[in-house]
Amino acid sequence: MLTTKEAIEKRRSIRRYKPDSIPYEHIEEILDSARLAPSGCNAQPWRFKIVTEEDVKVKLAQSAFNQSFIAAAPVVIVCCADIKGYLEGTVSGIQDLGNIGAVEDRIVSTIKDRASALETAGISELGPRIAANVAIAIEHIVLRAMDFGIGSCWVRLFDEQKMNLKTAVENNKL
């Protein structure tokens, strides 16, 4: 098992993969490390889709401007943000922080008001707020995967419109 220091120092973006499949228990452990990531108001707005189907991986690679290494990976984790979950989680999370006295009641009310005001906000406003939370969880995944000898690479160069990823995830079609 690597120390945190070793994992941080050894981590590299890996773009060539062995064809070996990854045991499901390892995927579960890796996802559990994402679950344990910190998030604002403990909203935990991340959602992850595990993709192993060849045809879906190919589509993902094509939508990522033909970064073919994506299709060659035994597992692709599509990392999503749940906007509704973020707003709901923020409201219940700030209440929890109020209940333990970590924040004053007036702050609880302010954050709750802000969350309900944000319900009508678009992705351009909400995206950056949620992205930080999801990014931390993703890096947990990257580092924990190394404990199982699994290399990975972040991919942001992706055209969501091309694959209509949002609709595919929402309709469980991925």
Ligand X SMILES: Cc1cc2nc3c(=O)[nH]c(=O)nc-3n(C[C@H](O)[C@H](O)[C@H](O)COP(=O)(O)O)c2cc1C
Q: Which is nearer to ligand X, 12 or 35 (CB)?
A: 12
| Smallest distance, ligand X to C-beta of residue 18, A | 18
Q: Which is nearer to ligand X, 61 or 111 (CB)?
A: 61
Q: CB burial class (10 A; 0-12, 13-18, 19+) of residue 137?
A: buried
| Smallest distance, ligand X to C-beta of residue 19, A | 19
Q: Which residue has the tokens 């949002």?
A: 166
Closest by Cα among 81, 72, 82, 107 to 93 = 107
Residue 165 and residue 51 in contact, taking contact as beta carbons nearer than 8 Å: no
**DSSP characters over 77-140:** EEEEE-HHHHHHHHHHHHHHHHHTTSS-HHHHHHHHHHHHHGGG--HHHHHHHHHHHHHHHHHH
Q: Which two tokens stand for residue 122?
A: 């678009």
Q: Which is nearer to ligand X, 33 or 67 (CB)?
A: 67
| Smallest distance, ligand X to C-beta of residue 166, A | 18
Residue type, 150: I
C-alpha to C-alpha distance for 90 and 35, rounded to whole angstroms:
16
| Smallest distance, ligand X to C-beta of residue 33, A | 17
| Smallest distance, ligand X to C-beta of residue 139, A | 8
Q: Which is nearer to ligand X, 41 or 142 (CB)?
A: 142
For residue 171, what is the DSSP state? T
| Smallest distance, ligand X to C-beta of residue 34, A | 15
Question: Which residues contact ligand X by CB under 6 A?
Answer: 12-13, 15, 67, 153-157
Q: Which is nearer to ligand X, 102 or 131 (CB)?
A: 131
Q: Which is nearer to ligand X, 78 or 115 (CB)?
A: 78
